[in-house]
Each structure stands twice: as structure tokens, then as C-alpha cells.
Amino acid sequence: MPQLDQSTHCDCGAITLSVTGQAISMFQCSCRNCQTVSGSGHSSIMLLPIEGVRIVGATKSFVRPADSGATFTRHFCPECGTTIAAESSRAPAFRIIPVGLFAGANDWYRPNQLIFSRTHPHWDLIDPEIPQHAAYRPEQH
């Protein structure tokens, strides 16, 4: 995983997101919620330790139950609606960051898996070489 030191902003510029350090994982998610939010067949996201994520500006949050039974919270700009970050009660020490926020400066992104392949639409082409998991990737002990 590459070392990151980048900043970006929401569509209207009211929120700035800075990420530093190394991502824990870079993956694609095809759960129904990611499809709805992205308007595509999947979301391209990375998982970072909370200390590597800095958000400047007031976000609004939406909390919902996740398929795993966890609580999922999405933080977005209250002005333009851009998703800035998300978090799961399943992994409170990490933040989920949409890689598309860094459009034009995200050549470092290399997804290592697809989760929720059970709901991945056939028309959404992804790299067939990456591992696919029907739901969350099984925990490794």
C-alpha cells in the first residue's frame, strides 16, 4: 500500500479532507447501499486508521443499520451532498474514504478485493483477477 499525503474537497469546497499514512485496505464494495450512493455497480473505497484522516468543515451524518448488524455512519457535506467519509461500528478505529474524491490524483489506487459480490451487477465490469467475497471478507485469525 502506498504512503498517502493528499488533500481534497467536496464539490462545493466547504469541506476539506486530508489523508496521511498508509491505507489498511483498498477495495470495491457492491452492497446495495454503495450502489445507491455511487450511482454505479460498486464503490471504490479505502480504509484508513482514524488518525490518518482529517476533516475540516462541518459535515452532516446519516446513520443506518448495516447488513452485518453493525451501525454504519456516512458523513457528507450539508451544502452539496458529497460523501466525505464513513465509519462502521464494526471497525471504529478506521474510516472509509471514497477514492473518487481524489479524482485526477488517485493513480495509486489498487483494489485488492470486491466485497458483496452476491449483489454485484453483471454490467459493472471489474477486474476479474481480484478476490471476490459474497459479503464481508472472512476474518482472518
pLDDT in tens, the chain (141 residues): 788 999 999 999 999 999 999 999 999 998 888 888 888 888 999 999 999 999 999 999 999 988 777 899 999 999 999 999 999 998 899 999 999 999 999 999 999 999 888 989 999 999 999 999 988 766 543
Rounded to whole angstroms, what are the CA distances from 18 to 58, 82, 115? 14, 15, 25
Locate the domains of the chain by residue range: 3-128
**Cβ contact 10:77 at 8 Å:** yes
CATH number of 3-128: 2.170.150.70
**For the chain, first and last CA: distance in Å?**
21
**Cβ contact 105:6 at 8 Å:** yes
Given the DSSP bridges, would you call strands 16-22 and 53-56 parallel, antiparallel or unpaired? antiparallel
- Number of C-beta neighbours around residue 75 at 10 A: 19
Check: pTM over 0.85? Answer yes or no: yes
Residue where the block lists cell 464481508 = 136
- Number of C-beta neighbours around residue 58 at 10 A: 11
